[in-house]
Amino acid sequence: MRTVEAQVEITIPFHDIDSIGVAWHGHYAKYFEIARCEMLDSFGYGYDAMRASGFMWPVIDMRIRYVKPVRFGQRVLVKATLREWENRLLIDYLVSDRESGQRLTKGTTVQVAVDMSNGEMCFVSPPVLFERLGLQRA
């Protein structure tokens, strides 16, 4: 099985901090998105390419497990790893402290292909995804 992953570094900005001095939990979706875009771009199927291919890939499920909080100015690494692609995109995320390597947060998202011409969800990933990944359909 091919491993597709990307990692980005994010410095937690002041505007992401809540009243108790840690990043508000909702901002983690944004951190995941930044890493996901980097990963999708790594094999030439970012959101512009998806749209050009006639498919949109909405997130239909997101799960987050908060292990330790992140704070203003902290530098973190966010890694996105594509785990499944046959019928959906299942992406795992790991947020870790850049300096110590300590795991801070982990999560997953699930995206499905939707044919933009008719709005129908695809039960199998479209051939263009396999082409971009350089894979043959199983």
What is the rounded CA–CA span in Å between residue 92 and residue 138?
22
* pLDDT in the model for residue 55: 97
Q: Please, what are the domains in the chain?
A: 4-133 (3.10.129.10)
Query: CB–CB of 51/3 below 8 Å?
Result: no
Tens of pLDDT, residue by residue over 32-62, are 999 999 999 999 999 999 999 999 999 999 9
- Report the predicted TM-score, pTM, of the whole model to 2 decimal places: 0.94
Residue spans of beta strands (DSSP E) within 12-132: 55-56, 59-66, 75-84, 89-97, 103-111, 114-115
Average pLDDT taken over every residue of the chain: 95
Query: CB–CB of 95/29 below 8 Å?
Result: no
Q: What is the dihedral of CA 3, 9, 108, 54, to 10 degrees?
A: -70
Hunting for tokens 């980097």 — which residue is that? 38
What's at 108, amino acid-wise?
A: T
Q: Residue 101, class by beta-carbon neighbours within 10 Å (0-12 exposed, 13-18 middle, 19+ buried)? A: exposed
Query: CB–CB of 62/111 below 8 Å?
Result: no
* Confidence grade of residue 135 (pLDDT, cut at 50, 70, 90): confident
Examine the pLDDT at 23 and tell me if it is beyond 90. Answer: yes
What is the rounded CA–CA span in Å between residue 16 and residue 33?
15
